[in-house]
Each structure stands twice: as C-alpha cells, then as structure tokens.
Structure 1
C-alpha cells in the first residue's frame, strides 16, 4: 500500500486509521467501544493465565495528533494510560501477584505512546511503533497490526510479545520456587475504534 488509507490510534494498545493527507499536525478524537478487548497472557511451569483489562476504564475519548511523513504517519501526544489495578486475572491470588509484579502501589499506570505507523505489504496491515512504559522504564516496540473496517468503525487487532526483564520485573515464584512464571508474556488486543 503506497498511500496510508487510515490514521492510527493504538490503545497496546492500540489504534485507528482514516483517510487523511496533510503536511502539518492535525488532531482528532477517538474512543474504544465496549466490544474491545486487551488481554495479557502468560504461563508458568504448571499452567497458563490471562489478565483482561476492564475496557470501561477507557470510556473517555482520546486526542490524537498526527501528520504524514512521506507515506508514513508520525504521532504526537498520542498516549494511552492503563490502570494496573484494572486488570482481572481470574482470581484474587493471581491479581495480587500481578499487581505485585507491576509494583502497582508505586507505579499505578502502564503508559503506551503511539509513535509512528507505516504500511505493510498487505493493505490491511500496518507496522506500528509504540513506546511502552512500565514501572518507570520505557521500551520501544514494533507491532504488526490488522486494521479492518466494520460497520463504519475500525477493528484493530494484534499481538505484542514482551520480555518482562526488559522492564527489570521479577516474575513471582510460588511454593519455595517450585512454581515459576515465564519471563515471556503477550499483549493481545482486539479493539473497536470509533472516531468522535
């Protein structure tokens, strides 16, 4: 795809694309519908777990500033903040371990900044660059996302693998170290994005 057809908002979100071409920064507002999902998946040497984000916490619209740079999109002030305590891992014990891992008492939010987006070989795919900040440490990642129109809205899907060691996080150990959680987690998202 030579011309970007959509402009992106990523919620780790996390994003949306609509037709625009402009040399300067433009701003729009967008929000996620209740059909959206964001899940962190992980596993230990005994079982798998997943922690689902409460999308109702993201009911406010998000302002996104963007501009075209060649055939790519560059973003400014396009950020999403997720409350660590708004993830539900299925039971109180895992929720407690999850929030201990993220040091939620000291760092109550995970921040995702949308940096840029460029077209892929497939028309419905984009390569998005995001900066993710967890426990005060920021890392940059590239995500291949699928973007499809759905009833006038956009469906944005993707998976981002992360090594929690990148953020100097230590996975919890249980039963004197017999149960060990893997350093590798995945952030899966399926977001329904509406332009305001």
Structure 2
C-alpha cells in the first residue's frame, strides 16, 4: 500500500475486510504446530506470512474467506495510530464502554487438546499476536453481548458506518449477482 491513492487504499482495506481481496485463507495443519508460531511475531513476521498466500483472483472479483485481511487491517490500524492492536481495543472500546472482561490476550487461557489415538494431547498455545485482528479479541459472554448491543445501538459507529458494516457483500459478474453473508469484518445471519 505504498503509492496508491487514498481511494485505492480505502478500497483495498474494504476488500480485506469483506473477503474480496482475491486471496484465500492460509491452510494450517492443526495436528502439527509450526515452531515459528510458538513465538510472538514481529510486524515483519506477520507481513511475511501474509505475503506467502497466493492470489486466486483479481481483487473484487470473487469472495473467499481469509483471516489475512483482518490481520492486515489490524496492522494498518497500528501503523496509523502508533498503538498496538491490544491497546487500541482496550483504550478505544473496552474501557469507554465499560467492558471489564473484553480485550486482547485475556488470561487465564484455556488449554486446547487434540485427539491422538484416543487420548487427549495438549496443543501448544500460539501467541495471540499471530491472529491480531483475526479473532484474537475475546471476552465473557456478558461483555460480548453488551458489545453487540452497543455496536448495534449506534454508540460506536455512525449510521453510515454501521450500515456499511452490516451490508452483505454483493459481486456482479457476467450479468449474475451473488450475495455473501459477510459485511465489513462481520458475519451476517442471512
């Protein structure tokens, strides 16, 4: 995102959030943890990992779920604000909205297990930073419910931004229209 106009950058961010960037999700073998994922990544580590993904279509031509878009959007937010993603969540959302158990890297963390020949085997914990904007924000059921009500109630976004967030992706090609159940970073129940 170096020499593009601000409109091009906004379009690129929109495509990252609505899964029309032209890249699929990374394939990760959950049975085997890559050792690099056991150490918290730097910004360069995240960008390098995203760069390993291949393009399956030109941007805006197809819909394909990808967590990379959320990770990239979090990196953009960090660069623009000079704050970490976790600090942004805490300072801009959790604290002002009174969400006491909502944030990034909440502890204690549940131990994950996998079935190995009928026995539970612990899975090593991957640092939250590998997922940044892609599902690393968590909270109690009460705080998540309150977050949803506050979001839908217009206390976080203005009406136009909330409408954009909640509008499903529509792609048109060769006279056909396809609608996908995602807005800007949010799965819709349609």
TM-score with structure 2 length normalisation?
0.26
Structure with greater strand percent: 1
Structure with greater helix percent: 2
Of structures 1 and 2, the one scoring higher in RCO (CA 8 A, sep 6+) is 1
Structure showing greater Rg: 2
